Structure 1
Amino acid sequence: MTGHPFHTMAPLRRAVRRLARAYRLPPDVRARLVLSVADLAEDELQAGRPVTLHTAQEAGTDADSYVLAVTLRSPQASGTLTAAGMPLPATNSSPNSVTWRFTVLVPPEAPLSNSLPDDIDSRRDPWPDRTPWTETQAIEEELRTAFAQTDALGAEHRRLKHELAETNAGVLALYVQLEERDEQLRRAHGQILQELEDALRPPPLSIEGLELAVHYEPADPNAPTGGDLYDWFTLPDGTLHITVVDALGHGLGSTRSALNVTHAVRVLALEGHPLQSILARTHEILMPLAPDLMATALLARLDPATGKLQLANGGHPPALLVPTDGEARYLEAKGRGIGFPLPGSEQILHTDLRPGDLLILYTDGLTESRRDPIEGEQRLIEAARRHAARPLAEIPSSLAAEMRSVVLHPDDTLALAIRVPRNGP
């Protein structure tokens, strides 16, 4: 159908609405088409440039339908008609025209006309509609359809919201169950790990004339085992023997290495080997069994009756002595660790612990948390002075908490404290 010019909006809307009714377009599609045509034509009509409406019949996918093409043109358009963002997306556009296509059934009483009269409501209506109607009725029909769709969408939204609420409630209940199960597993896991840690520790000692306390903190909180380990026991003559070991690495592998060292040292000590020879002999025993083992160790012998202290060192950080009177000092004894060249303690350091004196044995995780051992050793002296008057059971953990307030180099940490009570030897 050739286009008839429209100079105002109202006749154009009526023409589009009549066309859509004649070809049985659904009311919602009709409403979107009317709005889209009006949006495109508004600027042209206000500028005094007429627009034309065209229809064309194209072949459909089957014999019972065809494609109706509706085109709005602005022959005098000064620019490109913008087809983006319309209520009804166009299927084709050019600088001065926009086309929509619809698949419709062929209405036998509505053949396409070849002309459009000036009065679209005349008997020569190109889009005849046998059903009596007014534009108001058509608009109301479109509104009812829009409201019905809105209501349907609202009902569907409420249904989905209700289903979502039920789903969320179910998910929340499941989440709570999972949290409870996870908490049960965490408690069970923690209990197992605690039992494992306790199994690796020697039993507590109660020795007249001495106070003992220890703190161990793994580098990984979820793995309570590591390469830092200690052992203490009394020799047949009543002397206290303490072994502090730091095996290379972390986790179970280093724990196995540390256990091998402490067990070998215990056997050799109980067999009566001289303190100075134990570390070298431990190296000889373990290297054929574990050639990759590397560990530092500090051995201490303390006579509770006299306060006589002996130290053998295999490459380990020195013990710290905090006397009741006098300056705190490190008890240096040279030596090399197990698995290192020329292992063993070069000498035995002898000193005395007097009533009130505090002795700290530790691993390097305590002093090297900031990667500066010299700075760490100085901080440990200052911290030990501040905490020396506390109950001994609190001192190791207090030292660890202060020394590891800033950890740049996480490592297993062991701190062991020995004090001669003021009424001791």
Structure 2
Amino acid sequence: MTTRNLTCATTAGLSRAVRALAREHALDPEVRGRLVLSAAEAAGAALRAGRETGLEWAYDPGAGLLTVVLRTPGDTGPAAELPMAPDAVTEDEVVWRLPAGPPVDDAEEAPGGDALAAEELRVVLAAADALTAEHRRLKDELEETNSGVLALYVQLDERDKQLRTAHGQTLRELEDALRPPLIEADGLELAVHYEPAGTDAPTGGDLYDWFVLPDGTVHITIVDALGHGVTSTRSALNVTHAVRTLALEGHRLQSIVARTDEILYPFDRAVMATVLLARIDPVTGELWLANGSHPPALLLRRDGTARYLEARGRGIGFPLPGSETPLTERLAPGDLLLLYTDGLTESRRDPIEGERRLIEAAHKHLQSPIEEVPGAIAEDMHTVILHPDDTLALAVRLTGQ
């Protein structure tokens, strides 16, 4: 292995020397260009300071490696940022080891430095053009992909709208299936409002039932089963069906809650529900209430006086379920009776404050058309909701006609 060296005093001289040795060992033009730039940058500070730079190179034919050593006493420049990363760097040396062929002695035919630099520039431009073309191709593919993704998003959005529409229709049909039809009872006006705790569970444990008994009195059941969603709906349906059966069989009002608990216990031992039962004679205005741990009904007289009708009892699934002697009251024409679940009064987690606000809301809508009353009261009560819950409000007004 023969070692050769020379000393360079200028950047131009160093570049010519590096370009010549690289050409002599048939280095690729791109590699050659990087090596020339790297040597010039590494030695630039020393040459500008007037210090000569040594250039040494040796070829190992066995390994096929060309070792180039640049000696810059006291300053090797920014070696870490060179176009061609060096293999070794010391305080005053930068070393490159490159795969290369044996030296070729064709000095007479070798192109000049300008021609070699032009060749290196053409290689760089060709690489830049290739990168530009690749960038353009990738940009076109990205635009095409984005266009396809956008079209897919549009399709998915349309599909989502269709699914939401179908889902909403199904839920409305389910709600209608759970809701008993409006009854006709001369002398009474009835209306109801139901609002689930969340739109993802449009049914819950708050249900109602109303029907006319053979003697002409109207029976109303309000149920609030523990929990939310379909599971609590099933429990509430079991309660309303059992209550309806017992009422139509002629059981006394005060016995129905306890009897319902006995009927359901073998089939649904997990059921826990509060119940409020009301019987109203549309002719006389006579009212009977039986309670099972449920919030009291609100009676608002036509003259504006209001009173909660407290009836004692324990709910279904509670210890010692059942109702005590029914509370009796007489409605007068224009009086408003409001039956509800705790979601109406406990949205702010203070039942006492909620009952006070409920009286205010009922006063506000006392003279409104009956079909508007439950929804309007619920809207006033839910201006702030800290504790969302299923909400049921049922309004009854005696017309006296």
Range into which the TM-score falls when normalised by the shorter chain: over 0.9
Would the aligned equivalents of 2:341 and 2:393 in 1 still touch at CA under 8 Å?
yes
Distance 1:288 1:19 in 2: 100
Distance 1:4 1:296 in 2: 103
2:269 aligned residue: 291
2:38 aligned residue: 36
Distance 1:317 1:59 in 2: 100
Distance 1:381 1:101 in 2: 93
Would the aligned equivalents of 1:229 and 1:414 in 2 still touch at CA under 8 Å?
yes
Distance 1:328 1:381 in 2: 7
1:2 CA drift (Å): 4.8
Would the aligned equivalents of 1:276 and 1:347 in 2 still touch at CA under 8 Å?
yes
1:218 aligned residue: 196
Distance 1:238 1:359 in 2: 19
The one-letter amino acid of 1:247's match is A
Relative distance call for 1:3 and 1:217 in structure 2 (3 A) is farther
2:6 aligned residue: 4
2:94 aligned residue: 98
Relative distance call for 1:209 and 1:159 in structure 2 (3 A) is same
1:357 aligned residue: 335
Identity across matched positions, percent: 62
Distance 1:9 1:397 in 2: 90
Would the aligned equivalents of 1:227 and 1:412 in 2 still touch at CA under 8 Å?
yes
1:414 CA drift (Å): 1.3
1:135-165 Cα deviation digits (max 9, x unpaired): 3323322222222222221111111111222
Would the aligned equivalents of 1:81 and 1:94 in 2 still touch at CA under 8 Å?
no
Would the aligned equivalents of 1:81 and 1:97 in 2 still touch at CA under 8 Å?
no
Q: Number of matched residues?
A: 399
The one-letter amino acid of 1:196's match is L
2:240 aligned residue: 262
Distance 1:67 1:333 in 2: 103
1:68 aligned residue: 66
The one of 186, 198, 203 aligned to 2:176: 198
1:245 aligned residue: 223
2:351 aligned residue: 373
Would the aligned equivalents of 2:299 and 2:307 in 1 still touch at CA under 8 Å?
yes
The one-letter amino acid of 1:73's match is R
2:47 aligned residue: 45
RMSD between superposed Cα atoms in Å: 2.1
1:3 CA drift (Å): 3.9
Would the aligned equivalents of 1:244 and 1:297 in 2 still touch at CA under 8 Å?
yes
Relative distance call for 1:220 and 1:326 in structure 2 (3 A) is closer
Distance 1:247 1:148 in 2: 78
1:148 aligned residue: 126
Would the aligned equivalents of 1:81 and 1:95 in 2 still touch at CA under 8 Å?
no
Would the aligned equivalents of 1:60 and 1:103 in 2 still touch at CA under 8 Å?
no
1:417 CA drift (Å): 1.6
Relative distance call for 1:397 and 1:53 in structure 2 (3 A) is farther
The one-letter amino acid of 2:40's match is A
Relative distance call for 1:55 and 1:383 in structure 2 (3 A) is farther
Relative distance call for 1:383 and 1:105 in structure 2 (3 A) is farther
Distance 1:131 1:417 in 2: 109
Which is worse superposed, 23-32 or 7-16? 23-32
Would the aligned equivalents of 2:191 and 2:395 in 1 still touch at CA under 8 Å?
yes
Would the aligned equivalents of 1:50 and 1:76 in 2 still touch at CA under 8 Å?
no
Q: Secondary structure at the match of 1:238?
A: coil
Relative distance call for 1:60 and 1:412 in structure 2 (3 A) is farther
Would the aligned equivalents of 1:322 and 1:385 in 2 still touch at CA under 8 Å?
yes
1:64-105 Cα deviation digits (max 9, x unpaired): xx122222222333xx65322222222332333222232223
The one of 60, 80, 85 aligned to 1:84: 80
Distance 1:262 1:156 in 2: 72
Distance 2:29 2:357 in 1: 84
Relative distance call for 1:379 and 1:51 in structure 2 (3 A) is farther
1:171 aligned residue: 149
Q: Secondary structure at the match of 2:98?
A: strand
Q: Is residue 23 from structure 1 mapped to residue 1 from structure 2 by the alignment?
A: no
Structure 2 runs not aligned, ≥5 long = none
1:94-120 Cα deviation digits (max 9, x unpaired): 33322223222334x25xxxxxxxxxx
1:134 CA drift (Å): 2.9
Would the aligned equivalents of 2:59 and 2:102 in 1 still touch at CA under 8 Å?
no
1:270 CA drift (Å): 0.7
Would the aligned equivalents of 2:46 and 2:73 in 1 still touch at CA under 8 Å?
no
Relative distance call for 1:402 and 1:146 in structure 2 (3 A) is farther
Which is worse superposed, 309-318 or 328-337? 328-337
Which is worse superposed, 4-13 or 276-285? 4-13
The one of 358, 375, 378 aligned to 1:400: 378
Distance 1:352 1:130 in 2: 127
1:229 aligned residue: 207
Structure 1 runs not aligned, ≥5 long = 111-127
Q: Secondary structure at the match of 1:394?
A: helix
Relative distance call for 1:262 and 1:27 in structure 2 (3 A) is same
The one-letter amino acid of 1:40's match is A
The one-letter amino acid of 2:70's match is L
Relative distance call for 1:52 and 1:402 in structure 2 (3 A) is farther
Would the aligned equivalents of 2:193 and 2:394 in 1 still touch at CA under 8 Å?
yes
Relative distance call for 1:308 and 1:179 in structure 2 (3 A) is same
Q: Is residue 309 from structure 1 mapped to residue 309 from structure 2 by the alignment?
A: no
